[in-house]
Amino acid sequence: MSLRILHVLDHSLPLHSGYSFRTLAILREQHALGWQTVHLTTPKQGAGDALYEEVDGWLFNRTPSAAGCGLLQQMRLTAARLQQLVSTTEPDLIHAHSPVLNALPSLWVGRRRRLPVVYEMRASWEDAAVDHGTTRAGSLRYRASRALESYALRRADQVTTICEGLRGDIAMRGIPAQRITVIPNAVDVERFRLDADPDVELRQSLGLDGATVIGFAGSFYGYEGLDLLLEAARLLLPRHPQLRVLLVGGGPQESSLRAQATAAGIAPYVIFTGRVPHAEVQRYYGVIDVLAYPRLPIRLTELVTPLKPLEAMAQGRMLVASDVGGHRELIRDGETGSLFRAGDVASLAAAIDELLNKRQRWPAIRQQARRFVEVERTWASSVARYREVYRRALARYGRSPSI
C-alpha cells in the first residue's frame, strides 16, 4: 500500500514564489518515490469559493474564504477543510508547511483523527513579520508569534526545516535533536546546462552587446541589499566603463532603486526588466556574467538559505554574495563563489572587481560549483530524507509501513 501524505500549504501554483517552487519539487520527487500526495492550501491562497484548482497537472484543494479574514478565522476555515479532506482521502499522515497558521489546524485535526503531524518550518513567522514591516523584533506581537511557533514545534511528531541555521533556532526552543531533520533546498540539475550559450537576441534587445553584466533575478525586498549593488556599480564604473547592472524582477524596492540610479547618475547603466515569466528567467541568467546576492545581515538572512544561489551554481554562473549565515551555508568562498562582508559597499565592489580581473579562474569555479550541486544539492537526495522523518512520525502511533 502506497504512503499517502496530506500536505497543508500556505499557497501554491499558480502563484509564483520560492515557497511554491520548493513545494512543487517536493511533490514531484515524492511521486517518484511511489508515494501519493494530497494538497490543501489555506485562505492565504486568496479569497474565493473554489474547492479545488488544477494547475500544470497538479490538483490543489482550496479553502474557500472571503477577503479580510482574521488569523483565527483563517485557521478555523483551514481546520474545517482539513477535516473534510482527511475523511475523503484517508491520509497516513499530515505534513504541514510554514507558517504556524498551517501547523496549528493540522495539529488540531491530527490529534482528533490520530494522525501523525510533521511540521516543516521553512522560515520563522515572527522574523518574516519583522521583514515585512508588520512588527518589530521584541514587540508583544513578535513574542506572541514566537511562542505560537514554539508551541507547534513542541507538539509536532517530527519537525523538518530547510537549513542548519533554522535547525539551530528550533533546537534552542527545546526540541530534541532526534525530532529535527534538515531537508535542504536543492535544484533539478538536469534543468540547467553548464555550457549554455547566451541568448544573443535577448542580449541585443536589452542593449548589452559588449557589456559586462552584473545581475540579480528575484523579488526586490529591502533585505536583498540591491541598493548596495547600485552603489557598488557607481564605484566600479570608472574602472569598468563597460559594466551594466541587470535587475530582473520587481517588488517593494523598485521605485526607490530607480530613483537611486537616477540620483547617482548611473541610470543609463542599470536595466530594469520588470517581472518576467518564470519559464523565461533562465534566458536572463544566460546574459549575466556575475550574479550578485548582497543580502543584508538581519536575523532572517542569517538563518535562512536562499534558493537562487543554488540555481546559479547549477548553471556554473559566477556569483558574489554577502557573508550572511544563509549564504555561508551554501557557498565556499573562492571555490564555488565569492563572499564579501555583508552590508559593506566597498567590500562588495572589491569582490566584483577581483572577479572581473581574474577571469582565468572562472572555468574552475564554474566546474566546482556545478559539482557541489550535483553531489550535495539535488531534489532527489533532499526529498529522500523524508523517508526516515515519516517512518519516525508513524512509529509514534505504532505504525510501520514499508516506505
Residue 12 exposed, middle or buried by CB count within 10 Å (0-12, 13-18, 19+): buried
The pair phi, psi for residue 53, each rounded to 5°, is -150, 135
Query: Is residue 129 pLDDT above 80, yes or no?
Result: no
12 contacts 55 by C-beta, under 8 angstroms: yes
Interior CA angle at 111 toward 396 and 64, to 5°?
130
Least confident of 133-142, 250-259, 316-325: 133-142
Query: Is residue 133 pLDDT above 80, yes or no?
Result: no
Segment 186-199 shows an average pLDDT of 85
The pair phi, psi for residue 346, each rounded to 5°, is -65, -40
Segment 30-38 shows an average pLDDT of 97
What's the chain look like in SS3? CCCEEEEEECCCCCCCCHHHHHHHHHHHHHHHCCCEEEEEECHHHCCECCCEEEECCEEEECCCECCCCCHHHHHHHHHHHHHHHHHHHCCCEEEEECCHHHHHHHHHHHHHHCCCEEEEECCCHHHHHHHCCCCCCCCHHHHHHHHHHHHHHHHCCEEEECCHHHHHHHHHCCCCHHHEEECCCCECHHHCCCCCCCCHHHHHHCCCCCCEEEEEEEECCHHHCHHHHHHHHHHHCCCCCCEEEEEEEECCCHHHHHHHHHHCCCHHHEEEEECCCHHHHHHHHHCCCEEEECCCCCHHHHHCCCCHHHHHHHCCCEEEEECCHHHHCCCCECCCEEEECCCCHHHHHHHHHHHHHCHHHHHHHHHHHHHHHHHHCEHHHHHCCHHHHHHHHHHCCCCCCCC
* CA separation for the pair 73, 9 (Å, rounded): 16
* CA separation for the pair 225, 295 (Å, rounded): 5
56 contacts 13 by C-beta, under 8 angstroms: yes
* CA separation for the pair 379, 373 (Å, rounded): 10
Topology (CATH) of 189-376: Rossmann fold (3.40.50)
**Is the peptide bond between 14 and the residue preceding it cis, with omega within 30 degrees of 0?**
yes
333-355: pLDDT as tens digits = 999 999 999 999 999 999 999 99
Q: Which residues make Cβ contacts (< 8 Å) with residue 268, sequence separation at least 6?
A: none
235 contacts 349 by C-beta, under 8 angstroms: yes
How many CB atoms are located within 10 Å of the residue 5 CB?
A: 21
Least confident of 63-67, 256-260, 290-294: 63-67
320 contacts 351 by C-beta, under 8 angstroms: yes
| Banded pLDDT at 134 (limits 50, 70, 90) | low
CATH 3.40.50.2000 maps onto the chain at 4-186+378-396, 189-376
Segment 89-101 shows an average pLDDT of 97
Segment 359-379 shows an average pLDDT of 95
Nearest to 316 by CA among 191, 194, 186, 192: 194
Tell me what the pLDDT averaged over the chain comes to. 93
310 contacts 285 by C-beta, under 8 angstroms: no
**Block residue for cell numbers 581574474:** 358
Nearest to 165 by CA among 140, 190, 182, 186: 182
Strands 58-61 and 52-55, sheet pairing: antiparallel
Nearest to 126 by CA among 109, 151, 158: 151
C-alpha cell, 102: 498551517
* CA separation for the pair 286, 70 (Å, rounded): 43
Q: Which CATH class is domain 4-186+378-396?
A: alpha beta
pTM: 0.85
| Banded pLDDT at 178 (limits 50, 70, 90) | very high
